[in-house]
Amino acid sequence: MSTENEGTAVPPAPSAPPAPVDTPAASPQPAAPHPEQPPAQAPAAAPYEGHGPFAAHAPQQPAADGSGAPYGHTAPDASWPPPPPPGTPTYGGGGGGGQGGWGASYQPPAPKPGRGRGGLVAGLLIAALVAGGLGGGLGYTLAKNNDETGSTTVSASDTGGSLKRDAGTVAGVAAKALPSTVTIQAEGSNGEGGTGTGFVFDKQGHIVTNNHVVAEAVDGGKLSATFPDGKKYAAEVVGHAQGYDVAVIKLQNAPSDLNPLPLGDSDKVAVGDSTIAIGAPFGLSDTVTTGIISAKNRPVASSDGSGSNKASYMSALQTDASINPGNSGGPLLDAQGNVIGINSAIQSTSNGGFGTGQAGSIGLGFAIPVNQAEFVAKQLIKSGKPVYAKIGASVSLEETANGAKLTEQGVNGADPVESGGPAAAAGLKPGDVITKLDDRVIDSGPTLIGEIWTHKPGDKVTVTYERGGKERTTELTLGSKVGDD
């Protein structure tokens, strides 16, 4: 399935509360943010696209005009990470290099018509705000008329702030978590940018978010983070991981009273568990929505729709909590208020609303599991660069239901199975089709990549594969790849 985070700009409107007079020194408020770049499409029940932790390049799709260029994109190069596969989800949503690069060339399948993309792009929901104002006016008129009739009303015994909101309620979780979330505004050196969300990771002022939220500001851009109380801080990018779609930024002059959100265990999450998402959908900061975990281990490949050949891959938590453009990078919480994921991508019908042309939630949102995100964030804080697990082989990103095929050719003349690499040491050869990784069924190259990235370098995995029509198994120790290049 594929996802994206782009959309048509809408009339400017505030996406975050104004900063109070006593706000700490920070960079000037950027101009109205451009919609957040939509995430790439990712695989789920529908076809998806993605790249992997072990040399894999997406097949080059022939253009409709027969030019041979992939759907309006330039042909993928040998750099890491691999390009998104056809039909990737939108943002909401890697390792080999030289030897055993991300992918290998292969014969592209015939283009599939009519695949839509939806995106988690930052935007402003003007129509909804106007409707709210109208409702207020009608309410006043009705109340006034009611008074003139002399009717008697009855007041509730407990209202508003006098009600007790237990820690396990949605209101209780939101009250505790909101002060530790921020609305992020990123502006590139070209003046373009977008809005997303992030959450406090530690007391040192590190904020975790999506790579696609801050990508515009990586090279000479500007970043700011605004808390729900209106206090705004300038920030800088500490590190970012294109393949994982995770980034860490750090507040400048961070306050001493930061409260990091507690991190849960995404491996223990079950389908049906309650979820709470916090973000800035369409620029509406500090919005809380609820739902459940609707699926686990959903293979998703997503990209920002910019036309680059790189995509992000995840074995995602799927939720029906409402996630829209601007929710990207925000926390997905469990019923106790623990972070279980980072909202990253959505599947959408791509038929946008409110005249924006942007796609919105249809109940299919995807979050990066927090166990993976925590590992990536700590690596970024430590060295500024991501570390990816890899098998050291080129894999086809062609969409199939039969498994992940190791390609017969490598990238730019490199060996399809890296000499001396993990796959070679495990006895794998070009043409082998991997069907399972441990107990996880593998139906395609992007699925294999997403599953490998849930592991750490050095982990031992059992690989089930087919060769010559016979099923075999082997033990493989995952290697490592540092950086996105």
| pLDDT of res. 406 | 93
For the cut 70, the answer to whether the pLDDT of residue 126 exceeds it is: no
Per-residue pLDDT reduced to its tens digit, 396-439: 887 777 899 999 887 777 889 999 999 999 999 999 999 999 99
pLDDT of residue 399: 72
State yes or no: pLDDT of 155 exceeds 70: no
Name the least confident of 52-66, 246-260, 386-400, 471-485: 52-66
Tens of pLDDT, residues 172-182: 999 999 999 99
446: Cα separation from own chain's centroid: 15
- The string of pLDDT tens digits covering residues 442-456 is 999 989 999 999 999
User: CB within 8 A of 121, min separation 6: which ones?
Assistant: 4, 5, 6, 7, 35, 36, 37, 38, 90, 91, 194, 325, 326, 358
Query: What pLDDT is attached to residue 311?
Result: 80
Whether residue 110 has pLDDT greater than 50: no
**DSSP secondary structure code for residue 18 in this structure:** P
Nearest partner of 177 among 161, 150, 196, 198, judged by Cα: 198
Distance in angstroms (rounded) separating the CA atoms of residues 265 and 370: 7
The DSSP bridge partners found for residue 341 are 369
Task: Detail the DSSP E strand segments found in 149-273.
Answer: 181-187, 193-200, 206-209, 222-226, 232-241, 246-251
- Average pLDDT for residues 139-168, to the nearest whole number? 57
Q: How far apart are CA 317 and CA 297, in angstroms?
A: 6
What pLDDT was estimated at residue 283?
86
* b/e map 368-406, b = 16+ CB within 10 Å: bbbbbbbbbbebbbeeeebbbbbbbbbbbbbbeeebbbb
Choice among 55-64, 139-148, 322-331 with the minimum mean pLDDT: 55-64
Structure confidence by residue, pLDDT tens digits, 255-304: 999 999 999 999 999 999 999 999 998 889 999 999 999 999 999 888 75
Share of the chain above pLDDT 70, in %: 63
The span from the CA of 423 to the CA of 391, in Å, is: 5
Confidence class of residue 148 from pLDDT cuts 50, 70 and 90? low
- State CA 252 to chain mean position distance: 25
pLDDT at 12 over 80: no
| Residue at token pair 């459940």 | 292
**pLDDT recorded at residue 113:** 43
Query: Catalytic site residues?
Result: 212, 245, 328
Q: What is the mean pLDDT of the chain?
A: 74
> What is the rounded CA–CA span in Å between residue 391 and residue 421?
7
pLDDT at residue number 371: 96
CB atoms within 10 A of CB 160: 6
152 or 44, higher pLDDT: 152
Query: What are the DSSP E strand ranges found in 130-272?
Result: 181-187, 193-200, 206-209, 222-226, 232-241, 246-251
Cβ atoms of residues 200 and 258 within 8 Å: yes
Tell me the sheet residues that pair with 222.
187
What pLDDT sits at residue 83? 54
Contacts of residue 231, Cβ cutoff 8 Å, sequence gap at least 6? 19, 20, 23, 24, 255
The span from the CA of 74 to the CA of 92, in Å, is 24
Any idea what DSSP says for residue 253?
T
